[in-house]
Amino acid sequence: MLTYDGRLIWIGASIKDRPVAVPSRPAVSGAMLDDGNFVLYGADASVVWSTFASPTDTLLAGQDLVPGAQLFSSVSDTTRATGKYRLTNQQNDGNLVLYPVGTSNVAAAAYWDTVTFQIGFPLTLRLDASGVLYQANSNGSYTNNLTRPGAAKAGEQAHYRLTLDPDGVLRLYRHAFVSGGASKADVLWSTPSDRCLVKGVCGFNSYCVLDRDGQPTCLCPPGFGFVDASNAALGCTVNSSAGQCKGGQQDAAGFSMAPTPNMSWADTPYEVMGAGTSAADCQAACLGDCFCAAVLRDANDGTCTKQQLPLRYGRVGGGYALSVKTGGAANPTPGGSGRDTNHRSVGVGRATTIALVCIGVLACVALSALIASARLLRANWRILHRHVALANADAGEGLEEETAPMRSYTYQELERATHSFRDPLGRGAFGTVFKGALRNGEKVIAVKRLEKLVEDGEREFQREVRAIGRTSHRNLVRLLGFCHEGASRLLVYEFMSNGSVADLLFKGGASRAPAWPGRLGIALDVARGLHYLHDELDSRVIHCDVKPQNILMDAAGTAKIADFGLAKLLQPDQTRTFTGVRGTRGYLAPEWYRGAGPVTVKADVYSYGVVLLEIVTCRRGMEMEEAGEERTLMELAYECLLRGEVTRAMNSDEVVDAAAMERAVKVGIWCVQGEPESRPSIKSVILMLEGHLEVPFPPPPASY
């Protein structure tokens, strides 16, 4: 529809009016021309907008792709939203290049080009009426033909179009029309000819091979399985956990390296071992590094690079050996031809096998009995310990030894310190926090009074005291003491005078929020605190409720993580836990809602990603609601990232370092991926935010 104010809009049955064209001057009429160009005219009959000047995924004969313009593929043949690939004429050196959407205009991201970068000046891509596709400069003194003229048969009228198809292949089509209205279409030219060269044809952690018909097929490396077996193009996910990480080191026992030779992958390492590294040394380095998911080794010079998940752009061929870390010991196949005609040897082998099986069965029986006895002894000890702890609870015993050197306060002391709990600072899921003072007002404190039912409060109290009492980090709120008197359960924390990050970001508008360098510092403070909880404690801690309200600011402007009330401790040999849904909606990772799956520290990484985007943009994660249509901050941030306009996601006109903000937004989007395996570790988050690790362009977030 052409509106009264001169705009062209699309009206659909199930969507709001959507602008198609907003001309520089109001349009008063429109027309479809014979060459397929739809134009809008102004009051003076001049063209104010045209489809030829606004290409999408196709060029028609007579239409140009001028310097600075791009073609974008569609999602599919039936869904015309922007897809995964782009043909760009934005480079001023004359080179026409195919890239995945969202990548930078750099050689490492390209999968095809016209190799005309040596020209050194911009070129226009043109398709003429005879089907010739060529590049030319502004005055026509230089041309570079990409195709030859299409041969038209007698009685046929041919029309040509160049389309960047949803599969990332650029194709030149000829549509031949004959009398009576019949038509047929065929492909005159396409590139790349090897469809596995298209970056992203297979999803993360998968690689591409061509079948007999030249069609791409996606496969998983050893140790991985398809995300969706019915749609292999969605990629693969790791089948096993990478184990516990302690100071960057990992016990290699129970893990092995599964090599796949003659591969090509996007090489984005976080550590490079020099040329001449043997295959064994390359694999051993990965086995001992808990951050390493795989290694790539160049078969030519022996260069070894450590990789983290997700792996990208895999295909057969290329001279690299990929070795993936997998759980469980390797099962090598004995050498030989596989045929044995020596019956005596076979008989001896069978006898040996039977003997080994019998020994194994006896060993299993003995081991099972030993384990059962140990479990029974442990269960009896736990029951006894629990009875003793509960019996001493009223006297305040049972906790002081484990939480020393924290002080045990009486209820009367804390009641006096808080003036009978008169000044509440805030209320959480399990109780209210009050401001108080000790030593005649010299030391300001925060007292959290747990107010849940006795059973839940007891459990919550035990959990908080034991978890927080063992921690000591500049980015964690310090627990000073506790009260365990009768039915009263109180915790005493250091006082944080500058409130919460939620207050800084959302109270008083964006103008009250810290400037960009300060916000980035807050984001790094929070990441470092989580890194301590995830990787530097003997008992790994999942916070479970990372959100701006639980990040407090001290007098020096340092951000500290608070409220371990929902934290779940993991034993040293565990990396995941099964538990009920905990935390705050809007910050919860998708795996919480799936119910039957394991929850790992990657759930905290997801929550951190939402918080990071909020810190970067000064927007709430769920504030984008218009006319009943919900739109999350992560969706807005990703759309701005796709357009290369990340600063438009901000809730202010603040001038920021666009490159640093783009880096932070990319990290945030990686953190909120739907699959836990696709999210980075919090250690990698720190390295990326600090600029020590490259940040690849992320796939769409979980809600996209």
pLDDT digits (tens, 9 = 90+) for 572-588: 444 444 444 455 677 88
Lowest mean pLDDT among 155-159, 224-228, 241-245, 681-685: 241-245
Q: Which pair of structure tokens corresponds to residue 701?
A: 């977030």
Domain with CATH 1.10.510.10 in the chain: 501-689
The pLDDT assigned to 182 comes to 77
- DSSP letter at 354 equals H
Place of tokens 């090897």: 194
Residue 386 scores a pLDDT above 70: no
Give the bridge partners for 70, in sequence order.
88
- DSSP letter at 409 equals P
What is the average per-residue pLDDT within 33-55?
91
Q: What does the radius of gyration of the chain's CA atoms come to, in whole angstroms?
A: 32
What is the average per-residue pLDDT within 210-237?
88
The pLDDT assigned to 338 comes to 34
Q: Provide the b/e sequence for 592-610 (b: ≥16 CB within 10 Å).
A: beeeeebbbbbbbbbbbbb
What is the average per-residue pLDDT within 27-50?
91
The pLDDT assigned to 541 comes to 82
The pLDDT assigned to 460 comes to 60
Report the 10 Å Cβ neighbour count for 575. 18
The helices-and-strands tally (H runs, E runs) of the chain is 12, 41
Between 1.20.1050.140, 3.40.50.2300, 3.30.200.20, 3.40.50.300, what CATH number should domain 400-494 receive?
Answer: 3.30.200.20
**Residue 218 vs residues 13, 75, 295, 489, 638: alpha-carbon distances, Å:** 38, 18, 20, 57, 26
What is the average per-residue pLDDT within 22-30?
86
Q: Which residues are catalytically annotated?
A: 545
The pLDDT assigned to 154 comes to 63
Q: Which pair of structure tokens corresponds to residue 489?
A: 């359960």
Residue 397 scores a pLDDT above 60: no
> How far is it, in rounded angstroms, from Cα 660 to Cα 612?
13
Asked if 449 contacts 483 with a C-beta cutoff of 8 angstroms, the reply is no
Annotated binding residues for ATP, as ranges? 448
The pLDDT assigned to 472 comes to 83
| Residue, of 79 and 398, whose pLDDT is higher | 79
> How far is it, in rounded angstroms, from Cα 20 to Cα 27?
13
Between 3.30.930.10, 3.30.390.50, 3.40.50.720, 1.10.510.10, what CATH number should domain 501-689 receive?
Answer: 1.10.510.10
Q: Which pair of structure tokens corresponds to residue 157?
A: 């009228």
Asked if 239 contacts 224 with a C-beta cutoff of 8 angstroms, the reply is yes
Q: Supply the CATH classification number for the domain 56-193.
A: 2.90.10.10
- DSSP letter at 195 equals G
| Residue, of 421 and 374, whose pLDDT is higher | 421
Report the 10 Å Cβ neighbour count for 384. 10
Highest mean pLDDT among 42-46, 78-82, 353-357, 664-668: 664-668
The pLDDT assigned to 329 comes to 37
Residue 194 scores a pLDDT above 90: yes
Lowest mean pLDDT among 31-45, 452-466, 544-558, 628-642: 452-466
> How far is it, in rounded angstroms, from Cα 506 to Cα 699?
28
Asked if 283 contacts 295 with a C-beta cutoff of 8 angstroms, the reply is yes
Q: Which DSSP string do the residues of 621-686 spell out, in sequence order?
A: TT-EEETTEEE-HHHHHHHHHHTT-GGGGSSS-----HHHHHHHHHHHHHHT-SSGGGSPPHHHHH
The pLDDT assigned to 346 comes to 33
Give the bridge partners for 216, in sequence order.
210
Residue 469 scores a pLDDT above 90: no
Which band of pLDDT confidence, cut at 50, 70 and 90, is reported for residue 450? confident
> How far is it, in rounded angstroms, from Cα 447 to Cα 482?
9
Domain with CATH 3.30.200.20 in the chain: 400-494
The pLDDT assigned to 623 comes to 55
Which band of pLDDT confidence, cut at 50, 70 and 90, is reported for residue 12? low
Q: Which of 117, 113, 118 is nearest to 99 (CA)?
A: 113
User: What number of residues does the chain have?
Assistant: 704
The pLDDT assigned to 666 comes to 94
Q: Exposed, middle or buried, 70 (CB in 10 Å: 0-12/13-18/19+)?
A: middle
> How far is it, in rounded angstroms, from Cα 644 to Cα 653?
17
What is the average per-residue pLDDT within 328-350?
34
Annotated binding residues, as ranges? 448
> How far is it, in rounded angstroms, from Cα 505 to Cα 614?
8
Lowest mean pLDDT among 1-15, 105-119, 631-645, 685-699: 1-15
Phi, psi of 313 (to 5 degrees): 60, 45
Domain with CATH 2.90.10.10 in the chain: 56-193
| Residue, of 297 and 237, whose pLDDT is higher | 297
| Residue, of 418 and 17, whose pLDDT is higher | 418
Report the 10 Å Cβ neighbour count for 670. 24
Place of tokens 């907003």: 22
- Residues in contact with 583: Cβ distance below 8 Å, sequence separation at least 6, in sequence order: 544, 545, 546, 547, 566, 592, 603, 607
- Residues in contact with 466: Cβ distance below 8 Å, sequence separation at least 6, in sequence order: 399, 402, 403, 569
What's the mean pLDDT when you consider all of the chain?
A: 79
Give the bridge partners for 482, in sequence order.
408, 491
Q: Strand pairing of 479-485 and 407-408? A: parallel
Which band of pLDDT confidence, cut at 50, 70 and 90, is reported for residue 459? low
